[in-house]
């Protein structure tokens, strides 16, 4: 295969899923590359009608991009990268082997923006206990504040006409 420069096309089943693959010989090894099925390949111009035109980068922009790439480049050291999923699975297996009970972790709650009703109630109770309502002294926990009758508010039946809001 390597001498001829050709690849073999085959189907490959992994985890109850069938994949289309290309089997190639590279540097004395057989490699397997996953491919897309024909129905998965689409023309972007047909799918997205208003694709931007091909942009031409200036020499200055290209030089800046090259500098950025060079600044962020590093020597590849595979030992610095870990499959955290595999590590968590191995830890779970070890815990089970040691006889510990392993419970399924609850997924993290997503923020919903909903109001915490208990917190709103606490805030309301605290406002009710404030010195303004109790006549200068905040009531202690469990105390019942006597409400003094407040001044009655006048409600206008027609809006003010002087243009200043009052």
Tokens of 165: 């809001």
* Predicted confidence (pLDDT) per residue in 65-107, tens digit: 999 999 988 888 888 888 888 888 899 999 999 988 877 777 7
pLDDT at 21: 93
Give the angle 39-40-42 at the CA atoms, nearest 5°. 90
Q: pTM here? A: 0.34
More confident of the two residues 121 and 15: 15
Residue that the structure tokens 């605290």 belong to: 126
pLDDT at 155: 57
* Predicted confidence (pLDDT) per residue in 145-166, tens digit: 445 555 555 555 555 555 555 4
DSSP state, residue 122: H
Whole-angstrom CA distances from 18 to 7, 11, 87, 110 are 19, 6, 27, 34
129-157: average pLDDT: 54
3-15 burial: b if 16+ Cβ within 10 Å, else e: eeeebeeeeeeee
Helix extents (H) in the chain:
44-47, 59-72, 84-97, 117-128, 131-134
Which residues, at least 6 apart from 1, have a Cβ–Cβ distance to it below 8 Å? Answer: 7, 8, 23, 24, 25, 30
Tokens of 145: 């504040």
More confident of the two residues 118 and 138: 118
pLDDT at 60: 94
Closest CA to 26 of 7, 47, 54: 7
> CA 9, CA 14: separation in Å to the nearest integer?
16
pLDDT at 121: 79
* Predicted confidence (pLDDT) per residue in 3-53, tens digit: 888 889 999 888 888 999 999 998 889 999 999 988 888 888 888 878 777
Q: How crowded is residue 160: how many other Cβ atoms within 10 Å of its Cβ?
A: 9
């Amino acid at each position: 295969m390597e001498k001829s420069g050709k690849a073999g096309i085959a189907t490959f089943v992994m985890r109850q899923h069938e994949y289309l693959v290309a089997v190639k010989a590279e540097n004395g090894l057989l490699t397997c590359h996953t491919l897309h099925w024909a129905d998965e390949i689409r023309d972007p111009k047909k799918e997205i009608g208003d694709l931007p035109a091909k942009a031409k980068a200036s020499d200055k922009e290209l030089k800046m991009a090259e500098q950025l790439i060079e600044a962020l480049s590093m020597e590849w050291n595979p030992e610095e990268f870990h499959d955290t999923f595999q590590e968590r699975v191995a830890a779970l297996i070890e815990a089970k082997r040691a006889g510990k009970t392993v419970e399924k972790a609850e997924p993290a709650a997503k923020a919903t923006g909903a109001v915490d009703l208990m917190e709103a109630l606490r805030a309301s109770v605290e406002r009710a206990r404030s010195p303004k309502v109790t006549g200068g002294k905040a009531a202690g926990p469990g105390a019942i504040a006597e409400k003094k009758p407040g001044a009655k508010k006048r409600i206008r039946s027609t809006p003010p006409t002087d243009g200043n809001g009052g």
